[in-house]
Structure 1
Amino acid sequence: MNKVYLGLGTNMGDRLNYLDSACELIQNNSKIKVLKKSKIYETKAWGYTDQADFLNMCLEIETSLNEYDLLEFCHEVEQKLNRERIIRWGPRTIDIDILFFNDIILKDENLYIPHPRISERAFVLIPLMDLNKKLKIKNKTIEEYLNSLTCEEREQVKEYVGDEEKFV
């Protein structure tokens, strides 16, 4: 089995419902077992900032899928939840990123593992901390990367205090 960390984000419509639906679709795949879910965090938009705030979370999973089949499955989930790719880093109903896949390092036109911008995104590092503080990128833990971000960058990520019981 492959150990994988996924990042999920949404900032359109019923954001909690999109996260819940994505988690449900992932859990219902017989080749995937969800081991842990992070808390949900509300985050200011990153990159393209003229849009609504995001809800973000991470999942730790085990899967018998290889990295490319998992990527295809993640895109299928995004499609089922009406994801449209119009503006880079723009609004989306759901975004699912493969952050880590075992210890592999992969870089091609379709897939980068580990995800190339983890180390600069507090909205990924903070939920990953809920799951595994010891994850490393280039011999540095995600906790060390998080500590290297400015207070302003870290403070833009707030624990979501809405209807979290759906995710317990």
Structure 2
Amino acid sequence: MELSNLNIKNGLCISLGANIDSNYGKPIETFIICKPKIETLIKSWINQSKYCNKETESSETIFYWSSIYESSPHGVKDNQPNYLNTLVLVKSNSFPKQTTENAKFLLREFKNLERNFGRKKTPNNMKWLSRCLDLDILWWEDFCFKDEELILPHPRFMNRNFIISPLSEVLSRTQTVKKVEEERWLVD
């Protein structure tokens, strides 16, 4: 079954990548330390919006983390170490209202986290440099937005094996496939 046939734009999906040491150690150590920080950040973002909205009485937020995958650097000409990649699919009944301000707030928080781990600002016109931590918002529900700072959903996530492999793993745990009538399949 092709991923394009699945309802993947359900929830909030964040990718993590690293191929050089951070302020906290090697990429694997970076992920171990970063995972609970991301969960705390997202829960705080949700809770702040709950106090503003007061629409949802009880909230449940579940984090589905993929395994860690190793991949070759994408699009580089210089020799770089391989990347470690993982992603998290967050399901919640209490996400903040889908607005540009809320999406950019989350992006700024992720950029602050990257800086905390030692990531330096990428020089203009320089793509695909080694990184101690790279956090990308792949999608947030069905919210679509585009400017110089942020594009949602991420325009190239379906073309990256370092996203597709962990995404397939997470979706296999979060999607239910049911057989209906003859040979048609539905995905919840």
> Is the structural similarity TM-score above 0.5?
yes
* Counterpart amino acid of residue 119 in structure 1: M
User: d(CA) in 1 for partners of 2:108 and 2:62?
Assistant: 18
- CA-CA distance at 1:17 after TM superposition: 1.1
Asked whether the 8 Å contact 2:39–2:63 carries over to 1, the reply is no
Look up the match of 1:146.
Answer: none
Structure 1 residues 34 and 54: alpha-carbon distance in aligned structure 2, compared to 1, 3 A threshold = farther
Alignment of 1:31 onto 2:45: yes
Residues 92-125 of structure 1 deviation map (CA, whole Å, 9 limit, x = unaligned): 1000000011111211111111111112110011
Unaligned runs of 5+ in 1: 136-168
Runs of 4+ displaced beyond 4 Å? none
Unaligned runs of 5+ in 2: 1-9, 47-60, 176-188
Asked whether the 8 Å contact 1:27–1:34 carries over to 2, the reply is no
Residues 71-102 of structure 1 deviation map (CA, whole Å, 9 limit, x = unaligned): 01110110100012244111010000000111
* Counterpart amino acid of residue 3 in structure 1: G
User: What is the total number of aligned residue pairs between the two structures?
Assistant: 134
Bigger radius of gyration among the two: 2
Look up the match of 1:158.
Answer: none
Please, what TM-score do these two structures have when normalized by structure 1?
0.72
2:20 alignment partner, SS class = coil
* Counterpart amino acid of residue 84 in structure 2: L
User: d(CA) in 2 for partners of 1:118 and 1:71?
Assistant: 17
Look up the match of 1:54.
Answer: 83
Asked whether the 8 Å contact 1:34–1:59 carries over to 2, the reply is no
User: d(CA) in 2 for partners of 1:19 and 1:58?
Assistant: 10
1:59 alignment partner, SS class = strand
User: d(CA) in 1 for partners of 2:136 and 2:13?
Assistant: 9
User: 1:106-117 maps to which residues of 2 (within 5 A)?
Assistant: 106-117=145-156
* Counterpart amino acid of residue 70 in structure 2: E
- CA-CA distance at 1:23 after TM superposition: 1.2
Please, what TM-score do these two structures have when normalized by structure 2?
0.65
Look up the match of 1:125.
Answer: 164
**Deviation larger for 103-112 or 83-92:** 83-92
User: d(CA) in 2 for partners of 1:105 and 1:43?
Assistant: 28
User: d(CA) in 2 for partners of 1:64 and 1:73?
Assistant: 15
- CA-CA distance at 1:7 after TM superposition: 0.5
User: Taking every aligned residue pair, what percent have the same amino acid on both sides?
Assistant: 29
From 71, 75, 81, the counterpart of 2:111: 75
Asked whether the 8 Å contact 2:45–2:106 carries over to 1, the reply is no
Structure 1 residues 34 and 95: alpha-carbon distance in aligned structure 2, compared to 1, 3 A threshold = farther
Look up the match of 2:29.
Answer: 17
